[in-house]
Chains A and B, each alone.
Chain A
Amino acid sequence: DAGVIQSPRHEVTEMGQEVTLRCKPISGHNSLFWYRQTMMRGLELLIYFNNNVPIDDSGMPEDRFSAKMPNASFSTLKIQPSEPRDSAVYFCASRRTGANVLTFGAGSRLTVL
């Protein structure tokens, strides 16, 4: 079991650039979650998917953020255009239906200059 795999682990970009964060959930897990963590706001749930379908995107901060899950083994979180206030650690997590554990990836640390 390779765990939840996120890439890149670190990204530094300039304001206005497009950022794409990637996530591979654990095989067999059918729910996927994207979180953002900052000092000011703590851990925020941005969006989650069940069986590749977005269920709740109420945490997505604005239209610059979008997330997709084209298949059961891959999801992306895209920010376009990026802004300095988007600087944060972005976590992806996955869960198998009925299981009482949510497994997190190692996170992607984004810095927007």
Chain B
Amino acid sequence: AQKITQTQPGMFVQEKEAVTLDCTYDTSDPSYGLFWYKQPSSGEMIFLIYQGSYDQQNATEGRYSLNFQKARKSANLVISASQLGDSAMYFCAPSRGAQKLVFGQGTRLTINP
């Protein structure tokens, strides 16, 4: 079974600082892409960003960017200029063609004012 590792169960960051959330996975299939989702305390799952396995450049969406290193099987999420509203759980999910998303255990991010 696919194993996804998010090594940081909890992180505390000062507002306006950049944050890097780690995610590694253990497939040797080169066609795997990767999703990141955010879950605030209200409980909904919010799509943040997707990196395709063959995309040449790292994906970016506003303040979110991915540091995708296929050889290391890692796809870290970078949040620039963090805001209080970024406090949430963050989940990564590798997937082949988005067919079957299996999520990591998540990282709880707390932004301090």
Interfacial residues, chain A to chain B (CB-CB below 8 A): 31, 33, 35, 42-43, 45, 48, 56, 89, 91, 93, 95, 99-104, 106-107
Contact = CB atoms under 8 A, between A and B. Distances in A.
A102 B105 CA distance: 18
Contact of B103 (A43, A48, A56, A89): A43
A100 B103 contact: no
Contacts of B45: 91, 93, 104, 107
B43 A100 contact: no
Interface stretch (B11-19, B79-87, B94-102): B94-102
Contacts of B100: 45, 48, 56
B interface, how many residues as a size bin? 10 to 19
Contacts of B35: 100, 102
9 contacts: A42-B104, A43-B103, A45-B101, A48-B100, A56-B100, A101-B47, A101-B50, A106-B44, A107-B45
Most buried by B among A43, A93, A101, A102: A43
